[in-house]
Amino acid sequence: MKKNVSQLDGIIRITIALVIGMVGYFELLPLAWIIVLGVIGAIFLITGAVGFCPIYKGMGISTKKNQADKTLLDSEG
């Protein structure tokens, strides 16, 4: 499983998951919304911590820069 989530993307995902968790903890929304947001928050937390997003893979997206890409950019400059 090749990582496709950058460090910044992972931090943003984990931060969003924590905010969603706080919304649930303080019961700021009805229970049905808390459950839905809880699932979304869990997905964000896992993908942010692991560094892999299956949706990104399916769409061919990667926010993580490869070493090969960095070398290519350096040689063009």
Amino acid type, 22? M
pTM of the model: 0.80
- Dihedral of the CA atoms 6, 11, 12, 18 (nearest 10)? 150
pLDDT of residue 56: 94
pLDDT in tens, the chain (77 residues): 899 999 999 999 999 999 999 999 999 999 999 999 999 999 999 999 999 999 999 999 999 987 555 544 444 44
| Burial (0-12, 13-18, 19+ Cβ within 10 Å), 77 | exposed
Task: Tell me which DSSP letter residue 64 carries.
Answer: S
